[in-house]
Structure 1
Amino acid sequence: MPKINGNEIRPGAILDHDGGLWAAVKVNHVKPGKGGAFAQVELKNLRDGRKLNERFRSEDKVEEVRLDLKEQQFLYETDGRLVFMDSETFEQTELDADLLGDRRPFLQDGMTATIQYFGDEPLSVQIPQKVKCRVAETEPVMKGQTAANSFKPAILDNGVRIMIPPFVGPDEEIIVHTELMEYSERA
């Protein structure tokens, strides 16, 4: 694995540090008046989700890890485990449903997701940024409500509560941004 200097760490980089795999979430480069420059890095453990704040000087060497990305199709969920299938080899992979966190309801049958692997070990799941959902229930439109930039609460067919524009009614399909958990556009 290639080694990089502490000042070359960027957000999203995967590092082999303290015997674990860590993703750099936030990186702040600091140049104090006295002493050498350093990078203050917020790390998140890819295996158990722990967070760590670490300071790397520019002369520190860290191993950067390259993860393999594989597109796989979601099949079903059983006992809190998500089952995905590789479209080329038809091998099935089981992952913990907690890896998706709040985005779990947006995972739909047959959806293609990107799974990050370290060797043969699956570490994380990325679902598409935008997903089509149906509005299950919402409040009726009030006359004159469209004049201001206002939103109303809605419950989607997957049980997620979001805010939608007043012109969207029940049983309409909309596109939801899965990372921001908010309305994007009409389908």
Structure 2
Amino acid sequence: MKAYATISSCFYGRSALREGVGSVSSIQATRLRKGMLIKLGNDLLRLLELTHLTPGKGRGYVQARMLNIRSGASADHKFRSEDTVERAVLDDREMQYLYEDGGGYHFMDTENFEQTHMLGDALGNATRYLIPNGLIRVQFYGEEPVGIDLPKTVELKVEDTPPSIKGATASAQIKPATLETGLVVQVPAFINVGDTIRVNTDTGDYQSRV
């Protein structure tokens, strides 16, 4: 079974969520974690950054920077430690990534062949790991796509990288490489244009040559 790195901090199987699709669960503000999807009013917000603060006087609070999944706008919000927050309950579906155009990134459900798309703002840096025709896990809130799960590693082709330099010292044996998706990673000197490499999707680091 392929392992997946979670963009959202919690991931649910489709069969377990038939009754909970589009619903929310309550969570205390102090338990919020980066990557979670929460609901404030009618907005769905991805938590990008969290800072837990406890002032010398008064109660602690959580300062959050969030991304509105629907509008692409970012916002800051301060939660009191005792606040209860609505966390979106998500359904996940295996889909095939098709292509990107000006309207977003397009995916097809591998079970019923229905297509859906998401804006680049909602996907963030995950777009750098999407390969046409590759299988991916797409997160849904009800019938609305809200994010994706990436595999732990992906294999990408090197499109551009400087040639190796003869006589370079050991400390200089790392160079930048631009991959087929536009992602730039640091690679060993022996990597050449046309090579396929394995990249860690959590860190964006080179793992090995394939």
Q: TM-score, normalised by structure 2?
A: 0.74
> Contact 2:69/2:121 (CA < 8 Å) preserved in 1?
no
1:173 aligns with 2:178: no
Aligned to 1:17: 40
Are positions 1:151 and 2:174 aligned together?
Answer: yes
**CA 53–79 in structure 1, closer or farther in 2 if over 3 Å, else same:** closer
Q: Which residue of 1 aligns with 2:29?
A: 6
Aligned-partner residue type, residue 165 of structure 1: P
Structure 1 residue 141: Cα displacement:
1.9
Letter in 2 for 1:5: Q
* Aligned residue in 2 for 1:163: 186
Determine which of 53, 74, 77 is the counterpart of 1:51: 74
Tell me by how many angstroms 1:181 deviates: 4.1
Alignment equivalent of 2:91, drawn from 59, 68, 72: 68
| Aligned-residue offset at 1:20 | 0.7
* Structure 1 contact 146–167 (Cα < 8 Å) conserved: no
Tell me which moved more, 83-92 or 154-163. Answer: 154-163
Larger deviation: 137-146 or 167-176? 137-146
1-side partners of 2:86 and 2:79: how far apart? Answer: 12
3-state SS in 2 of match to 1:24? strand
Identify the range of structure 1 (31-40 vs 155-164) with the bigger mean alpha-carbon deviation. 155-164
Bigger radius of gyration, 1 or 2? 1
2:64 counterpart residue number: 41
Q: Could you tell me which runs of 5 or more consecutive residues in structure 1 were left unpaired when the two chains were aligned.
A: none
Deviations 1:111-158 (A, max 9, x none): 011212111111223443422122234333222325225322333344
Per-residue deviation, 1:166: 0.7
Q: Which has the higher contact order (CA 8 A, sep 6+)?
A: 2
Name the aligned partner's letter for residue 167 of structure 2: G
C-alpha contact (below 8 Å) 2:159/2:194 kept by paired residues: yes
Counterpart selection for 1:139 from 162, 174, 196: 162
**More displaced 10-residue stretch of structure 1: 70-79 or 17-26:** 70-79
State whether residues 99 and 125 of structure 1, in contact with CA within 8 Å, keep that contact through their aligned partners in structure 2: no
Q: CA deviation at 1:90?
A: 2.3
Q: Distance in 1 between matches of 2:193 and 2:71?
A: 39
**Could you tell me whether the CA contact under 8 Å between 1:146 and 1:166 is conserved in 2?**
no
Distance in structure 2 (CA, Å) of the matches to 1:80 and 1:170: 31
The number of residue pairs the alignment matches comes to 187
Pairwise CA RMSD of aligned residues? 2.6
